[in-house]
Every structure is written in structure tokens, then in C-alpha cells.
């Protein structure tokens, strides 16, 4: 798997373009803003986007979804518990940020344990609530797309509507129990590894 990071928006949210490197098939994860910037990377590599996967439904992770969906005819997938966030500016917190917006509903509602297959890519859905009710991580090929569940040295906020600290603790424990040392691609901040976070991130010891 080849992963191309693209930083977007005022909150410096990480978008990831994952490709299998063989078929030219790609998956875009969390296109939060700056659709043109994301499209430039996709078109430069001549990729065909099959899916847009969302780790959760907060505004800074969904702002470019509709533009990319229309451009590439890609299917949009989000966990079923965050489905409302796509269609409600209140639920996705954009109203609180002073720029209320909504997007079209998801094409696919995900559940824990589901897999998404595109070309030679396979990503498994790991439901990790805490930052939001429907927060997920995507696992595959030695890579963990952690959204706003796990950051380098930190975790996502648990003081938003729909957030829950106890659920976050349980989700972090679930990540801690993963045996493989995944490369971690978080929703904000620097890339890291799961092994490093197990050893160094104070929240992983909750």
C-alpha cells in the first residue's frame, strides 16, 4: 500500500490517499477541505478513486466529500452511528465553528468488522468510539488510519457532543491489544507507529 498524505483546512486535518500501487485504484480517507488540492494529487498519479472512507463525521473531516464524490463517482462510507453528522450542521459541529454546512448522505453505513476492498487494497473497520459515537479506525497492510482516536503522543477530544471519555478509554485499550506494530496515520499531526504510542503515549496507559 502506498499512502499519500495531504494536509487541508484551517485545523490542519490529514487527508490520506491510499493506493495499491498496481491497479491504480485508490481510497480517499477523510477529505476535510481543499478539494482541489486533493484532486491534484489523485490526478497527478492517474488514480481511480473507488471509495471515500470517513473515520468520523466532524466537519473538518468531511468538507471536500461531495466535490470528490461527484468528480470521481466514488462511494462514501461512514460508521452508522455518525451517519447523521453528514447531513446536519449541528451534528457535525460546523454550526459551532461559524460555517454551518452539510453534505449528502453516505452510500455505505459501516459496522465493526466490515471490510472495504478496492483493487488489491483491503481495509478492516475497527469501531473506536470516544471522540464521536461512530469513530472508527481502518486497518490493513500494516497501516492504521486512526482518525481522531489516536494521535502522536495524544488522543482526540472527548468534550464534544457525542464524545465519551469512558468509550475512548475502551477504544484505546482495544488498540493497545493489537499485536501488530502498525504505521499510524492520524487525523491531525505527525505520523507515528502503534508500538511507539504503546510505549510513549500516556493515554495508552489509562
At 144-194, the pLDDT tens digits run 999 999 999 999 999 999 999 999 999 999 999 999 899 999 999 999 999
pLDDT of residue 206 exceeding 80, the answer is no
At 112-136, the pLDDT tens digits run 999 999 999 999 999 999 999 999 9
Q: Taking a C-beta distance cutoff of 8 angstroms, is the pair 187, 156 a contact?
A: yes
- What's this model's pTM, rounded to 2 decimal places? 0.97
> What is the per-residue pLDDT for 64?
98
At 68-79, the pLDDT tens digits run 999 999 999 999
Instruction: Look over the chain and give the mean of its residue pLDDT values, rounded to a whole number.
Output: 96
Tell me the C-alpha distance between 163 and 156, whole Å.
Answer: 9
For the chain, the three-class secondary structure string (H helix, E strand, C coil) is CEEEEEEECCCCEEEEEEECCCCCEEEEECCCCCHHHHHHHHHHCCCEEEEEECCCCCHHHCCCHHHHHHHHCCEEEEEHHHHHHHHCCCCCCCCCCCCCCCCCCCCEEECCCCEEEECCEEEEEEECCCCCCCCEEEEECCEEEEECCEECCEECCCCCCCCCHHHHHHHHHHHHCCCCCCEEEECECCCEEHHHHHHHCHHHHC
Tell me the C-alpha distance between 87 and 94, whole Å.
Answer: 11
C-alpha distance from residue 75 to each of 12, 17, 53, 72, 188 (Å): 24, 15, 8, 9, 24
At 90-114, the pLDDT tens digits run 999 999 888 899 999 999 999 999 9
Distance of CA 45 to the CA centre of its chain: 21
Tell me the C-alpha distance between 195 and 56, whole Å.
Answer: 24
Tell me the C-alpha distance between 194 and 186, whole Å.
Answer: 11
At 19-65, the pLDDT tens digits run 998 889 999 999 999 999 999 999 999 999 999 999 999 999 999 99
Amino acid at each position: 500500500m502506498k499512502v499519500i498524505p495531504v494536509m487541508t483546512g484551517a485545523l490542519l486535518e490529514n487527508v490520506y490517499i491510499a493506493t495499491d500501487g498496481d491497479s491504480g485504484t485508490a481510497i480517499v480517507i477523510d477529505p476535510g477541505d481543499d478539494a482541489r488540492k486533493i484532486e491534484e494529487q489523485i490526478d497527478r498519479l492517474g488514480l481511480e478513486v473507488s471509495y471515500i472512507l470517513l473515520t468520523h463525521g466532524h466537519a473538518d473531516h468531511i468538507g471536500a466529500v461531495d466535490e470528490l464524490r461527484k468528480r470521481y463517482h466514488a462511494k462514501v462510507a461512514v460508521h452508522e452511528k455518525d451517519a447523521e453528522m453528514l447531513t446536519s450542521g449541528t451534528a457535525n459541529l460546523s454550526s459551532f465553528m461559524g460555517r454551518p454546512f452539510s453534505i449528502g448522505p453516505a452510500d455505505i453505513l459501516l459496522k465493526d468488522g466490515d471490510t472495504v476492498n478496492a483493487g488489491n487494497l483491503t481495509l478492516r473497520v475497527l469501531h473506536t468510539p470516544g471522540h464521536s459515537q461512530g469513530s472508527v479506525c481502518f486497518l490493513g497492510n500494516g497501516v492504521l488510519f486512526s482518525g481522531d482516536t489516536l494521535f502522536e503522543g495524544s488522543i482526540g477530544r472527548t468534550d464534544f457532543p457525542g464524545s465519551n471519555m469512558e468509550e475512548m478509554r475502551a477504544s484505546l485499550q482495544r488498540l493497545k491489544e493489537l499485536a501488530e506494530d502498525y504505521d499510524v496515520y492520524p487525523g491531525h499531526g505527525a505520523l507515528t507507529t502503534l508500538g511507539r504510542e504503546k510505549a510513549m503515549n500516556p493515554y495508552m496507559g489509562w
